[in-house]
Amino acid sequence: MPSMHPLDDARDAVRRYVARRPEDAAAAKALQDHLRHDDAILSRSNMRGHITTSALVLDADRSCGLVVHHRVFDLWLQPGGHYEPPGSLWESACREVTEETGLQAIEPFPAADRPPVALDIDTHPIPARLDKGEAAHRHHDIAYLALATAPFVPTPQLDEVHAVRWVELVELARYPNARVRRLAVKALRVVADQRVNGGRSAA
């Protein structure tokens, strides 16, 4: 079966996200509106804003999440970055995980989610970076929940990431960064649902 065009994949990702999590429809509206009017939304040179992808990766026990310390923002965040072709948004998120942490063996969580449904969509402002010739713009980040399928010792891989570690989800749910807190709370709910209901897709 031919792969979906990345723009169609982005539109489909938002549609499935809102269908799965209607309570988050308002948070996805900025991305939905941008997708309707800007076919260059996947290009990082688009200073109206563009799509990024990320993933909160769980360890085998589903008790910890993998986070990186970002030099530029001085924050502990889930691995992620700009969408880069080829492939789907999920594949882009997986590449970011590998590039920033070295982890290659991951799969969607829950496993029944094929194609994966985003855990969270967040639009946030990015300040101008004169050193990169970038004006202030917006990131529309599409974050997935993933599971490490093999034991893994975190190792930072990029200049912009100088630390990687596993952190208990319950601790991440108390982190200062609101996005990380929200991801952790959502992940805890998905994990709890899976333990109660087995392989059923997350509610």
108-128 pLDDT per residue, tens: 999 988 899 999 999 999 899
Return the top range by mean pLDDT from 25-34, 83-92, 146-155. 25-34
pLDDT at 35: 96
**pTM (two decimals):** 0.93
Q: What is the structure's pLDDT at 203?
A: 43
CA nearest to 96, candidates 50, 57, 46, 41: 57
Mean pLDDT of the chain: 92
Q: State the architecture of 6-127+136-197 in CATH terms.
A: Alpha-Beta Complex (3.90)
Write out the DSSP string of 64-114. Answer: EEEEEEETTTTEEE-SEEE--SSS-HHHHHHHHHHHHH----EEESSTT-S
**What integer pLDDT is reported at residue 112 of this predicted model?**
86
In this prediction, what percent of the chain has a pLDDT beyond 70?
A: 96
Q: What pLDDT sits at residue 200?
A: 53
- Over residues 13-32, mean pLDDT: 96
How confident is the model over 154-201, as pLDDT tens digits? 888 888 788 999 999 999 999 999 999 999 999 999 999 998 886 555
**Token pair of 170, please?**
């319950």
For the chain, domain boundaries: 6-127+136-197
1 or 15, higher pLDDT: 15
